[in-house]
Amino acid sequence: TAAAPRPRLGSVQLAACAAWTLGGNDNGSMITAAPRLYPHMWSWDTAFISIGLAHLNVDRAVRELETLLAAQWRNGMLPHIVFSEGGGYFPGPERWGAAELNSDAPDAPRTSGICQPPVHAIALRRIVDIGAGAASTARLLAEGWPKLYRWHEWLVRHRDPHGTGMLGIVHGWESGMDNSPRWDDPYSAVVPGQDLPPYVRLDRRVASAAERPSDLEYDRYLWLIEEMRKVRYDAAQVVRTSSFLVGDVFVTAVFALASEVLATLGKESGQPAWQVRQLRGWAHRSRRAVVAAYSPQTGLARDYDRRANRWLTTRTIAGFAPLLCGGLDAEDEAAMLARILGPDWAGHPDLFAAIPPSVSPNDPGFRPREYWRGPVWPVIAWLFGWAFEQRGWTDEASRLRAECLRLTGDGAFGEYYHPLTGEPLGSRHQSWTATVVLDWLH
Ligand code: 9WN
């Protein structure tokens, strides 16, 4: 797998390409996650998309985040998909049936019935900083902050009902890392019933089968939706009945980080002090849960399978979650930082660019083309880079940024990349890849 020579654009051309990509994905009411594979709005994609947009047009960035927030469920959940009028994606709004089954779901726009990692407060921070002084950012802060507070509150109430600090997910899609090997064990206990309604996958019309999840994986994804439909997406019942329930260490770390960020934004903008304090308390508790999930044996943090009552020791990029939110003691943290940069991960000698892939090339389960089982995801690198900067690891952050720009410098904006050759994979013109590139260029 020798790296093929790839064109590299200058930074002005690359920024222009990114802007062109976002413009092309704008359907008039939203910027879709990707032109053909994902013709709708995805929750965490939109958070990242709005960051890049803020560099081009801050009012447009604000509008994008507002469009997502307008689809918030009445109970506080931010849905993982906000559907546009067009079709072209399966499962679409009819298969989810969220509005028909649950009165908390909005009738318009249509949405899915699950959520995604809570990175939105980080986007709010970035937009407020980039667009300081603009009337639209002041509006977003005033009106968006209480919505994000309710979103975090929903997560605590429904995904950590016992106050452990670790947030649960009820579907691999909620992790954002759909078919990561992290979920192989818990998914093996998800047995699709005979009454799984038939369906036709649309994703493989766009991306090659070798780069997408398998049919068995899809049956399980769809079966979990059937289970949720049976309890009408009632959040408390979903957690009781879903055959997939996992404490997700990465989502928990994102939540801890984002709660801290939201608290600071709230303090700066005069939000109620008790809510700011509560957010800091949630952040503290979740940070402790992430630290408690750390395994000295693997040097990584673990997920917890709540159905099987056991830790999951799969080694993936998510195991570096403590680097996002902090909390480890200084020695363990230094070792973890060295590990993510070292020869098993970003420093692996065969990598095209020194960016940590989703699974280590040294892992027997490493599959360099297959979605969350090996490829590099620029957006994940952006998140770690941003956290590194917050933590004061500025050299590491700028090296990561330079390597990411090298990987994405051909302007293809792949959804993910082959870690050894740098080939773009999955969808091309993926909005969140274009947008993190824009942020790196500034
Ligand atoms: C299911 C949109 C989304 C991302 C996820 C990524 C992928 C969807 C899919 O695409 O998931 O939600 O159909 O494969 O895994 O992280 O938000 O870009």
> What ipTM was assigned to the predicted interfaces of this complex?
0.99
pLDDT in tens, 364-386: 999 999 999 999 999 999 999 99
Q: Number of C-alpha atoms within 13 angstroms, CB side, residue 273?
A: 0
CA distance linking residue 204 with residue 426, whole number of Å: 10
Low-confidence spans in the chain with pLDDT less than 50 = 1
* Nearest atom (ligand 1) to Cα of 38: 2
Catalytic residue among 66, 153, 178, 389: 178
Q: How far away, in angstroms, is 42 Cα from ligand 1 center? A: 8
* C-beta of 44 in contact with ligand 1 (< 6 A): yes
Long-range contacts of the stretch 297-301 (C-beta < 8 A, 24+) = 299/332, 299/335, 299/336, 299/339, 300/336, 300/339, 301/249, 301/253
Which phi and psi angles does 6 have, rounded to 5°? Answer: -125, 145
Residue nearest to atom 3 of ligand 1 (CA): 42
Which atom of ligand 1 has the smallest separation from the CA of 203? 13
Domains and their CATH numbers in the chain? 11-441 (1.50.10.10)
Q: Is the dihedral of CA 235, 238, 240, 246 positive or negative?
A: negative
Q: Contact at 8 Å (CB) between 160 and 168?
A: yes
| Three-state secondary structure call for residue 311 | strand
Whole-number Å distance, alpha carbon 34 to ligand 1 midpoint, is 10
- pLDDT of 206: 86
- Ligand 1 atom nearest to CA at 89: 13
Q: Is 41 in the pocket of ligand 1 (CB under 6 A)?
A: no
Contact, 259 vs 283, CB < 8 A? Answer: yes
Active site residue 178: yes
CA angle (381 as vertex; 423, 402 as ends), nearest 5: 75
Give the contacts of 160 (CB within 8 A, at least 6 positions apart): 166, 167, 168, 286
Catalytic site residue 303? no
Which of ligand 1's atoms lies nearest the C-alpha of 80?
12
CA quadruple 170, 173, 178, 179: dihedral sign:
positive
Residue closest via CA to ligand 1's atom 1 equals: 173
Helix, strand, coil shares, percent, the chain, to 5: 50, 5, 40
**Residue from 178, 211, 317 to probe ligand 1 pocket by mutation (most atoms less than 8 Å from CB):** 178
